[in-house]
Structure 1
Amino acid sequence: MNIDVDSLFFPAQAIKSEKSFFAGRKTLLQDAVKAVNTPGVSVVLYGERGIGKTSAAWQLYDLLQGDKTLYKLWNTKPIELRYKFKCVWVKCREYMSSTEDILLKLLMPSSERSTFYDVFPNVFNNDRFLESIKLKFKIDLKVVGAEVENFEKAKDNFYEQAKTLLDKKVAIHSIFEEVLLEIKRQDPESEVIIFVDEIDRIQEKKGLGSLIKDTDHAKFVFIGIAESLNSLIADHKSIARKLGTSAFNMDGLTESDIRWIFTKVQHMFPNKIIFTEEFILQVIEKSGGYPYPVQIFGHLGLTHALETTLNPPYKVTKDHFGFIVKKFLSFQEGYEEYSNLLNILNGDSTFKREVLHIIASSPYKWTPFNYIKDGLSSRGLRRFFDTNINNLVEKDTILKYKQDDKQQVRFTDPIARIISMLHKQEAG
């Protein structure tokens, strides 16, 4: 029997087209569709890292463009859309630092085939429009991005052409508006929705509020961690009118969502694949409701059962979990450092007290390890930090300082918390 585990569990990617494997989020997605369907309202999806925001956003992307697959799976009547929505998508990368970078990225081709250039090719093939942009702004859009795949090169091309302009940032926003106007001219019935994923990577977030406030011919769906949402809202009090009640905080998968994931696979291979109740309870307990560990535990468990069982049924049991944890931890380079650091901070030493002081007094709500390392007073402590925490410094894993009845430090990355917990159990 040919069982392709990679087509049943998806630990390494957001769920996009594999809609029949998308678990939960029904109410959230329906509410988000209703929000976008409301005139003038933009949407924010936010939550912790790894909570499944991008997968949910891709489902929203398709729902808004009339895809009814999820409604059929939910056995629910589709929400009637007011407009003919046309969606574009841009993912913020580490080399993007500002609102202007987002707008430039939208003018370029993308691997997802989801930018202005990809979704509205008639605009970028319209010589009349391109010539008008050239006359107004001295900018050749084809040279900027349409014929350039490298973002940094496209950005350099833009600024090289714009060097005679007094305000280059204003030029980018103006060209963005011109593109939206041309889309409206060519397709008056359409309503453009711009998805911006991972807004927490954008350093200069203040411009996002102005972008929402000043854009008349498109609406936005922003996806990011909660801290980025606070920065976004703080930018412009008046954007509350456009956001309304449309900021959605995503929680983890529920117990029933996790059970559904394994039941779905079992139903595809009746009496061939079995996940025992004890195994599913282990996944529920150790995953914390985060999609990645749920998916990786399922993938590793089924793979192990297939490799160690000659004939079906292939039963994944609680006994497989020791192997799964060891395998999972082996994927996480330097995972011991997570536990090492927590052990140090749970102890009582000069090093602990100094690190806690740096975190508590830092200007960051979430403190990067490099900031801690730079603040350590002695060369010996810095060497100790390097020796024990080096992998975390490279990953820039973040610590959050809390003070309730006692001082507490925790990783803001949920996977780091899960890794630390599993390693502690393994060591115990």
Structure 2
Amino acid sequence: MKRDGLLILLDEFDVLENKRGLGSLIKSLSSKDVKFGVCGIGQDLNDLIEDHASVERLLEQGAIHVKQMPNPEAKNILDRAEELFEGEVRIDPQIKDEIVEISQGYPYFIQMFGKSCVSKASQLGLQTINRHVYNRVIDDIKSGIAFPTLESAYQRAVGKSEARQMLLHLLAEQPEEKTLFHEDVGRIFLKNVRKDAEEFDVNYLDQNLPRLLDKNYGGVIRRIPEGQGIYEFTNPVFRLYVNLRSI
């Protein structure tokens, strides 16, 4: 572009608990030669405008919603993995498609699933990730063996309550509602879960829900300030995991 400049990216901005003063800092340092890019999940960018109102204008002008990865690009992750293994590991084309489909455009989940497939193939003495390997990994996910970090979050959230476990699965399985501004951002409406909860004998929904929101137990879902009874999963990959895991 025939000019020099500096772009400062603040990645995983949502994990920063205290954002006080950052709005003013970004506003004062930004110029035609210095720009900031803030990356995060959810509503956290709103914290920036608390200490400098004019930052809101900058957010409106430059906010970008990152959609899920398209299937062809997601499949390239697995193609690239095969290249890096230099022929030592091969993935059946149909299995690639199923891994991409089950990952719903989240590259991190593709990486985790692919790594588990490679480990399982190695355990079985195979060089090809075929239907048998794929099914074994699915079985490990269902039983809580495949992904220890996600399973730990799962156990922490549900505790010893079967009703809360069922509620978590009902929330994860609910079709994602579309929003006016970002059509790909999912919302969970609690009113849509109540009927199913009654059918599965989750009679004390309002008593079981708070632990799923409590940060002391992982805070796997959070309220959306757009209206009463609207929630979303803090980590969309965790939602995928819950949908795959057996009760």
- Report the TM-score when normalising by structure 1: 0.40
- Gapped regions of structure 1 (runs ≥ 5): 1-79, 86-192, 360-366, 371-392
Q: Which amino acid aligns with 2:119?
A: T
Map residues 284-323 of structure 1 onto 2, 5 A cutoff: 284-309=100-125, 314-323=127-136
Match of 2:233 in 1: 411
Match of 1:352 in 2: 205
After superposition, give the CA deviation of every residue in 1:173-204 in whole Å (9 maximum; x if it has no partner): xxxxxxxxxxxxxxxxxxxx443333324445
Match of 1:341 in 2: 167
Aligned partner of 1:325 among 124, 131, 138: 138
Aligned partner of 1:209 among 10, 13, 23: 23
After superposition, give the CA deviation of every residue in 1:378-414 in whole Å (9 maximum; x if it has no partner): xxxxxxxxxxxxxxx532322447999xx77653321
Match of 2:67 in 1: 251
Q: CA deviation at 1:264?
A: 1.9
Answer 1 or 2: higher relative contact order, Cα 8 Å, separation at least 6. 1
User: Equivalent residue of 1:396, what SS?
Assistant: coil
Distance 2:240 2:96 in 1: 17
Q: Is the contact between residue 212 and residue 242 of structure 1 (CA under 8 Å) also seen in structure 2? A: no
Q: CA deviation at 1:325?
A: 3.0
Q: Is the contact between residue 400 and residue 411 of structure 1 (CA under 8 Å) also seen in structure 2? A: no
Aligned partner of 1:369 among 206, 211, 214: 214
Q: Is the contact between residue 167 and residue 197 of structure 2 (CA under 8 Å) also seen in structure 1? A: no
Q: CA deviation at 1:255?
A: 0.4
Change in 2 beyond 3 A, CA 1:410/1:213: closer
Identity within the alignment, %: 25
Change in 2 beyond 3 A, CA 1:222/1:410: closer
Q: CA deviation at 1:309?
A: 3.1
Q: Is the contact between residue 169 and residue 243 of structure 2 (CA under 8 Å) also seen in structure 1? A: no
Matched, 1:397 2:220: yes
- Gapped regions of structure 2 (runs ≥ 5): 159-163, 171-192
Distance 1:226 1:408 in 2: 13
Match of 1:134 in 2: none
Match of 1:273 in 2: 89
Q: CA deviation at 1:270?
A: 6.1
Distance 1:334 1:225 in 2: 18
Distance 2:73 2:169 in 1: 33
Structure of greater Rg? 1
CA RMSD across the alignment: 3.6
Distance 2:208 2:85 in 1: 52
Q: CA deviation at 1:214?
A: 2.2
Change in 2 beyond 3 A, CA 1:198/1:250: same
Q: CA deviation at 1:295?
A: 0.3
Work out the number of aligned pairs and report it. Answer: 204
Map residues 6-405 of structure 1 onto 2, 5 A cutoff: 80=1, 82-83=3-4, 85=6, 193-205=7-19, 207-215=21-29, 218-233=34-49, 236-239=52-55, 242-243=58-59, 245-268=61-84, 272-309=88-125, 314-328=127-141, 329-330=144-145, 331=148, 332-333=151-152, 335=154, 337=158, 339-342=165-168, 346-348=196-198, 349-354=202-207, 368-369=213-214, 393-400=216-223
Change in 2 beyond 3 A, CA 1:280/1:247: same
User: Equivalent residue of 2:68, what SS?
Assistant: coil
415-424 vs 229-238, which deviates more? Answer: 229-238
Distance 2:120 2:91 in 1: 12
Distance 1:194 1:271 in 2: 39
After superposition, give the CA deviation of every residue in 1:238-292 in whole Å (9 maximum; x if it has no partner): 2356557332222222101121111223344565432112211221222122122
After superposition, give the CA deviation of every residue in 1:159-183 in whole Å (9 maximum; x if it has no partner): xxxxxxxxxxxxxxxxxxxxxxxxx
- Report the TM-score when normalising by structure 2: 0.65
After superposition, give the CA deviation of every residue in 1:328-354 in whole Å (9 maximum; x if it has no partner): 432122635384432586422541145
Q: Is the contact between residue 22 and residue 48 of structure 2 (CA under 8 Å) also seen in structure 1? A: yes
After superposition, give the CA deviation of every residue in 1:342-387 in whole Å (9 maximum; x if it has no partner): 258642254114556x79xxxxxxx8326xxxxxxxxxxxxxxxxx
Q: CA deviation at 1:233?
A: 4.6
After superposition, give the CA deviation of every residue in 1:2-54 in whole Å (9 maximum; x if it has no partner): xxxxxxxxxxxxxxxxxxxxxxxxxxxxxxxxxxxxxxxxxxxxxxxxxxxxx
